[in-house]
Every structure is written in structure tokens, then in C-alpha cells.
Amino acid sequence: MKLEFHSLTKCYGSHTVLDGITAQLNFPRALVLVGPSGGGKSTLLRLVGGLELTDEGTIRLDGELVPTHEKSLRLYRSGIGTVFQSWNLFPHLSAMANIMLPLTAVHRVPENEARKRALELLERFHLADHAHKRPAELSGGQRQRIAIARAVVIRPRLLLFDEPTSALDPEMTAEVLEVIADLKAEGRAFILVTHAMNFARVVADEVAFLAQGRIAEHGSAKDFFSTPRTPEATRFLERVLKY
């Protein structure tokens, strides 16, 4: 995958969150975004996902411009799988119905075909027994895995994960990270925002370090974690790897 930013700027009111980012990121499968809180990681991810509009600049995904009009944007979004930190699932629908909804409503997949594909994923994620349950009846880890299944079931060109484990306890975190590692092994491309540095180190092909609305540096996971080039990244890694 190739992700290009050209003078990408995003403001909320007078607050500039992304400050003219220009960068080209190449990653076979896994791009991991790290950086201090408030640095703009979620915002960047939402822009790539077509959930927010840029104020200035452009984003290209594999050379193709991310659209800026609602109608084409909706089409674009429907080809991308997004998993947020929490509250992904619709509370009134069962796990199964949650996974099937994008298929039947957006991608016009027939009901029985959609059910089959949803069930395959549920089995793969060891969740088949929970297919009929509503989100309130599931653990946080199960919920996130179902959210991932819903994002994957449409066979997206790119998956976006925004801190999918930060609301989970260590054991559930492990369950979810396992699924993500599994998706990588399968050949799925994704961008992951995470504070789980050890996992980032293992899973990332490319790492981008985002601080104060800019990509301060990016490079292979090996280089970034062993020899960060900027003082900001060095300090950041020292801080988060300390404990």
C-alpha cells in the first residue's frame, strides 16, 4: 500500500490539529501510527477513512485521491473497514446482525450469502457461540473482535484500527491483538493506531511518529524502535518503554 499526504491540514476551530503534513508512506501490510496523546493520530486516521473532510491538502491511497464530496466519499468509506476504540457495534442488533448489516445494506450481498460469510468469520475468531448475542451480553474483547469481523467481512481494501485495545484489560487485549496479527498473516492491509508498543514493534512494517500535528519521522519498525532519528521520538520511546 502507498499512502501519500500533500500539505494535509485539519483544524477544529482555531486549533490546528494536522499542520500541513507532506509524506509518502509505503507499507506492504501494516502501518502503525504512534505518538503522544493529542498529536493528531485519530484525526489523521479519520481523514484517511473518509470520515472527516480535510481543510487543505490531499490524501492519496495507492495513487487514488480520497474524495471530498459526500456521495463519492460514502462509496469510498464503504470499501474501508474501520474499528474505533469502543462503541463500534449497534446495541440493538445481535453480533451476527451487526456483521451482516454492511453486507446486506451497503454491498447488496444476498441475505444467505451474507450470513455464511459472517458465520465463517465468527468461527475463525472463535465467536460462533455468541452469534445471537447483543453487544451488552458480550465482553469488551468479544465486542472488539466482532467489530473487527464487521470491518473485515466486506473484504476492504484497507482496515483502520484506532486504539482498538485501549479500553480493554490485558487478557482481552491479547485476544484482539491476536486477531490483528492473524489478519496480517492473511495478507490484509491495515493502519493501526496503538499505545501497545511491543505489539507495534512486532506487527508493523512501517511506523509513522505523529507529534504536534506533523509526521516527525517514519521508517521501518526495526529502525524506528532501535534508532529513532528525532529527539521527539527518542523522548517518546524512552517514556513509553520505561515501564
Partner 1 sequence: MTARHRTLNSVISFILGGVLFAGICYAVLRLATWQWDGVWEYRTVFWKGWITTIWISAAALLLSVIFGLTCALARRAPYPAVRWLAAGYVELIRGTPLLVQLLILFYVVADATGLQNRYAAGVIILSIFSGAYIAEMMRGGIESVGKSHLDSARAIGLTRGQTYRYVIFPQAIRHILPPLAGQAASIIKDSSLLSILGIAEFTLAAQQVNSATYSTLESYLPLAVGYLALTLPVSLLARKLEGRFRYET
Binding site for Mg ion (CB under 5 A): 42
Minimum separation from the CB atom of position 127 to ligand ATP (A): 27
Query: Binding marks (x or -) toward ligand ATP, 34..63, rule CB under 6 A?
Result: -x-xxxxxxx--------------------
How are beta strands 56-61 and 2-12 bridged, if at all?
antiparallel
Contact flag: residue 65 with partner 1 (CB under 8 A) = no
Residues 6+ apart with CB under 8 A from 3: 24, 25, 26, 27, 31, 48, 59, 60, 61, 191
| Contacting range for partner 1; rule: CB under 8 A; set: 16-24, 75-83, 121-129, 208-216 | 75-83
Between 82 and 94, name the residue whose CB sits nearer to Mg ion: 82
Minimum separation from the CB atom of position 41 to ligand ATP (A): 3
Contact flag: residue 142 with partner 1 (CB under 8 A) = no
Side chain identity, residue 212: Q
Greatest Cα pair distance in the chain: 55
Between 71 and 242, name the residue whose CB sits nearer to partner 1: 71
DSSP lists the bridge partners of residue 211 as 214
Comparing C-alpha atoms, which of 214, 193, 212, 215 is closest to residue 204?
193
DSSP lists the bridge partners of residue 217 as 209
Comparing C-alpha atoms, which of 138, 141, 203 is closest to residue 166?
141
Q: Which of 12, 65, 90, 111 binds partner 1 (CB under 8 A)?
A: 90
Contact flag: residue 98 with ligand ATP (CB under 6 A) = no
Contact flag: residue 14 with ligand ATP (CB under 6 A) = no
Could you list the residues that contact ligand ATP (CB under 6 A)? 12, 15, 17, 35, 37-43
